[in-house]
Structure 1
Amino acid sequence: MTTPQPISLGPQAGEADFGLIVAECFGVEVPTFQGEGPSCGHPAIFIRLSRCNLTCTKCDTKYTWDWSQFDPRKESTKRTVEDLLAYAALSPVELVVITGGEPLIQQARLVPLVRGLISAGKRVEVETNGSIAPLHELVIDGVRFNVSPKLASFGIKESKSIVPAALEAFVASRRAGFKFVASTLADLDRIAELADTYRLAPVWVMPEGTTPEAITATTRVLADAVAARHWHFTTRLHVLAFADARGR
């Protein structure tokens, strides 16, 4: 496996000249789990891509896009598909989670990576904010999309984060679940509006928070109302187990 080299380019320039812009990979050297959504608790390898098309104030991975706080040359590396496939092959774990940032910004470059992972016997979950429709080359057996549309309460204008055509494409793919971060009962009302408008299903609700205490408190606020709507509920296992440590 080749050693990734620090990016020597600006945050946008020249990004089509190599494989993928990666923030971090983890789960091989120190095993971990998928912390959220339908596969919560499953052993997993993570490939976190850099860059995002949104600027959510409550984002917990701002090191993938917020260059007012972070240096992209320190927070990003350029990796070839072959390098990333070799990394995943070091682990017997079946599930590979491709997350971000927003990974579908680089989805044309994801196609050979995803195909290689599936050929190697892996299954892939793509964590996406749902504002970019997936290429049909990614809508294939072995791939699932964990679509997490961002509400205004997450610190972003919904005119940017809620993209009807993209949501419709995910629904049509029949390979997507819809995972919403929520803090209040009012958030659940907004989720219901979106689910009804765009026929989003299945719906997963995840309590907002980056500490075990916050996750527990928000869970107790939301749990009864989520159950009453017959939606799925997911915790953030990595926060509870590893105190939201980076790379876990």
Structure 2
Amino acid sequence: MQGEGPSAGRRCAFVRLGGCNLSCRWCDTPYTWDWTGVGDTGVAHDPRRELTALPVSEVLERLLGYDVPLIVVSGGEPLSQQKRLIPLLRELTARGKAVEIETNGTVVPGREVIDLGVRFNVSPKLAHSGDPESRRLVPRALRAFAEVPGTAFKFVCRTPDDLEEVASVVERFGTRPVWIMPEGQVPADVGRHLAALGDAAVSRGWNLTTRLHVAVWGDRRGV
């Protein structure tokens, strides 16, 4: 189930890739990139256990076996491997599957990927992620995503003060439409942040999304 953003609640299957060019302290999938324990959990994950190389044919077979209309490619940062993704994306779209790519918005999307008609769910990171602005906000990439029809920009926030930072990013890079999503890996945190953000987000004319997968499964890892 897609838990966030414009497609929240839709049945889907996930492709989760390893490796990320950012190091968000509160990341809910540190096992895809945190090999040294720099995140809030302080746990150093082992890439030899977490990452598995698979041929496109096997990945495609597994995804089609779920018999769902939507495929979500996530990470890590999947666009760091976008050239290697093209054969899979081509096969999925040829079979009528809708495809969404979750990205942090720091890597410029290639024309081949754009032309396949995937939707980009771009999540530019704010200061509370812990990364410097020079790493987390790449003007050329954000403007490129803003030009792709159907792109959604999803900002992880905690308090109404964060919305001022979101407004600055939107003003500078044209990152619309905006979706505000509460940070949190357990239902209590998501609910608290959502309640704090709701009125302020709506008053700005922005969309609001919760995290349905957290409400249903908490912080339990999928399989």
Provide TM-score, normalisation by structure 1.
Answer: 0.85
Map 1:11-22 → 2, pairs under 5 A: none
Counterpart residue number, 2:12: 44
Counterpart residue number, 2:73: 98
Counterpart residue number, 1:63: 31
Contact 1:97 1:124 in 2 (8 A): yes
Identity of aligned residues (%): 49
- Give 5+ residue unaligned stretches, structure 2: 37-43
Deviations 1:97-142 (A, max 9, x none): 0000000010000111101101122110000000001111011354
2:131 matches 1:131 = no
Distance 2:11 2:59 in 1: 18
Deviations 1:184-211 (A, max 9, x none): 1111000011101111110000001111
Contact 1:180 1:205 in 2 (8 A): yes
Distance 2:216 2:30 in 1: 21
Q: CA shift at 1:175, angstroms?
A: 3.2
Deviations 1:133-189 (A, max 9, x none): 111101135410000001111222111000000001101122311000000111100
Map 1:161-200 → 2, pairs under 5 A: 161-200=136-175
Contact 1:96 1:122 in 2 (8 A): yes
Distance 2:127 2:90 in 1: 35
Deviations 1:39-98 (A, max 9, x none): 000001000000001111111111111112011000000011111111111022010000
Contact 1:139 1:175 in 2 (8 A): no
2:199 matches 1:224 = yes
**Letter aligned with residue 120 of structure 2:** F
Regions of 4+ moved over 6 Å? none
Distance 1:130 1:142 in 2: 17
Distance 1:64 1:158 in 2: 22
- Give 5+ residue unaligned stretches, structure 1: 1-32
Counterpart residue number, 1:23: none
Counterpart residue number, 1:54: 22
Counterpart residue number, 2:39: none
Distance 2:219 2:6 in 1: 19
